[in-house]
Amino acid sequence: MDPLAVLSQAAQERGFLTAWAGLGLPEAVQSRYQAWLTQGHQAGMHYLLEQAPARLEPTRRFGWARSVLVLAAPHAYPPPPRPPGGLRLGRVARYAWVRDYHLLLRPHLEALQALAHRLGLEARAYVDTGPLSERSYAVKGGLGWVGKSAMLLRMGEGSYLTLAVLLTSAPPPPEPPPYPNRCGSCTRCLRGCPTGALLGDGTLDARRCISYWTIEHRGIIPLRLWEGLGDWLFGCDICQEVCPWNRKARAFWAGFSPEAELAYPNLLDFFELSSKAFERRYARTAFLRPGRTRMARNALVVLSNLSHPELLPLALKAAQDVNPVVRATAAQALARLGEGALLERFFQDPDPAVARVARGLRGAL
């Protein structure tokens, strides 16, 4: 019995698209990634630099590993109905409309890992948590191509694909022919990106990426970037929304169920809940990665960009927040409103960084 076929069938029975690839990455892929890091396109994600050797050569950590089973769960599900009440403004990236995909996929990966062990293989499963280049292995295994949007694409499912991998000690199958690159001369994603984050070669500059600033960046968002963030509260889907291959994208993985409270969260939660209450309200969701602090920060940016009347009362509320990032963002929002007189309350802030931000904003008015 071929263990690769058994594992593939088991994964497909669970609703996943599958592809096998050998563990070694082509030299061109490694060189390109190293150049991307050298140019600083990872922004503040310093862990990518630290993990680069293991990411490019997984055998540094797992000497037994020889092959990778790539799993893809399509998430092109339709939006749920908008719930009533609350202050429900700003957009959330589609993948976050469901409970945290790491947690949803993990039981399936653990089951496949256990099956691999029963088949006499060494195995280790990852759901976007280890230093592995999932997209590179997906391409190597013929699952799709990396488009100009820097996303993995395939006909039928488009780019709405959540990836996971299973490392195994099994010898890899023969490498399949490459999946045809169907981007052609289309540049809709490049033209659609409001911040120019897409570089046109299948990579992006995280220093310009809305998803980076709203999810990964831990500190204050510079005012010069606010306009480009538009009404994105968490992540960004613009490059996917404009992609022709996503017009008829399918979502058929049964483990994903969009929730209205995640697609359209109540912004008031981020100002009225404590961090502990926030964690309880949004348990097992992607919102825990930025946490209450950064979600409140993002909400102020969104309300400012929308010129919403709730901005002033919420900025004044945020001025009393326990977190200095929220207080500093409130100062930025008030300055953008032209409320220079209200900035004085920040000049004696207990956090020197907040006071410096406020004084700098006063000089800019």
Rounded-to-integer distance, Cα 269 and Cα 22, Å: 46
Q: How confident is the model at residue 213 (pLDDT cuts 50, 70, 90)?
A: very high
Residue 162 sits in the same domain as residue 286: no
Beta bridge partners of 21: 68
CA distances to 18, 72, 245, 316 from 134, rounded to whole Å, are 12, 10, 21, 44
In a domain, 78, yes or no: yes
How many domains would you assign to the chain?
2
Q: Is residue 83 part of a domain?
A: yes
Q: Among this protein's residues, is 128 annotated catalytic? A: yes
Rounded CA separation 8/261 (Å): 35
State whether 163 and 272 are in the same domain: no
- Give the list of residues 6+ apart from residue 224 with CB closer than 8 angstroms, or none: none
Q: What are the tens digits of pLDDT across the range 99-143?
A: 999 999 999 999 999 999 999 999 999 998 888 999 999 999 999
Question: CB-based burial of residue 348 (10 Å sphere; 0-12 exposed, 13-18 middle, 19+ buried)?
Answer: exposed
- Co-location of 7 and 128 in the same domain: yes
- Could you say which of 113, 147, 168 is where a domain stops? 168
Confidence class of residue 334 from pLDDT cuts 50, 70 and 90? very high
**DSSP percent split of the chain into helix, strand, coil, nearest 5:** 45, 10, 45
Calculate mean pLDDT across residues 163-167. 97
User: Which of 2, 100, 128, 205 is labelled catalytic?
Assistant: 128
- Report yes or no on 250 lying in a domain: no
Q: What is the pLDDT of residues 271-319, one digit of tens each?
A: 999 999 999 999 999 999 999 999 999 999 999 999 999 999 999 999 9
Nearest residue to 292 via CA among 258, 318, 263: 318
Worst-scoring range by mean pLDDT, 77-86, 94-103, 139-148, 345-354?
345-354
pTM above 0.85, yes or no: yes
pLDDT digits (tens, 9 = 90+) for 308-329: 999 999 999 999 999 999 999 9
Q: What pLDDT does 199 receive?
A: 96
Residue 287, domain extent: 267-360
Task: For residues 8 and 148, state if they share a domain.
Answer: yes
Same domain, 161 and 271: no
pLDDT over 60 (residue 190): yes
Q: Of 56-65, 183-192, 339-348, which one has max mean pLDDT?
A: 183-192
**DSSP per residue, 197-244:** -B-SSS-B-GGG-HHIIIII--SPPPGGGHHHHTTEEE---HHHHT-G
Handedness of CA 273, 334, 307, 243 (dihedral sign): negative
Q: Is residue 260 part of a domain?
A: no
Same domain, 272 and 160: no
The span from the CA of 305 to the CA of 220, in Å, is 16
Q: What is the pLDDT of residue 127?
A: 94
163 within some domain: yes
Residues 281 and 163 in one domain: no
Q: Are 242 and 189 in contact (CB under 8 A)?
A: yes
Is the Cα dihedral 227, 231, 236, 241 positive or negative? negative
Residue ending a domain, among 108, 139, 168, is 168
Beta partners for 204? 198
Contact yes or no for 214/234 (Cβ under 8 A) = yes
Say if residue 365's pLDDT is above 70: no
Judge whether residue 364 has pLDDT over 80: no
**Structure tokens belonging to residue 328:** 């500093």
Whether 23 is in a domain gets the answer: yes
Examine the domain organization and report whether 43 and 150 are in the same domain: yes
Q: Is 216 exposed, middle or buried (0-12, 13-18, 19+ CB in 10 A)?
A: middle
* Both tokens assigned to 107: 């039981």
Q: Rounded to whole angstroms, what are the CA distances from 184 to 143, 148, 181, 249, 279?
A: 18, 10, 7, 18, 44
Domain boundary among 168, 194, 211: 168
What phi and psi values does residue 339 have, to the nearest 5 degrees? -90, 65
Domain match, 18 and 150 both: yes
Asked if residue 197 is part of any domain, the answer here is: no
Structure tokens given for 129: 């948590």
> Cα–Cα distance between 104 and 120 in angstroms, integer?
26
What pLDDT score was predicted for residue 92? Answer: 98
**Residues whose CB is less than 8 angstroms from the CB of residue 93 and which lie 6 or more positions away in sequence, other chains included:** 211, 232, 234, 235, 236, 237
What is the model's pLDDT at position 48?
94
| 152 and 286 part of one domain | no
pLDDT at residue 363 above 70? no
Q: Do 164 and 279 sit in the same domain of this protein?
A: no
Whether 263 has a pLDDT exceeding 60, the answer reads yes
pLDDT at 251: 83
Q: Which residues contact 83 (CB under 8 A, 6 or more apart)?
A: 260, 261, 264
Residues 9 and 125 placed together within one structural domain of the fold: yes
For residue 134, being part of any structural domain is answered with: yes
| pLDDT attached to residue 237 | 98
Q: Amino acid letter at 54?
A: A
Q: Which of 69, 171, 56 is nearest to 113 (CA)?
A: 69
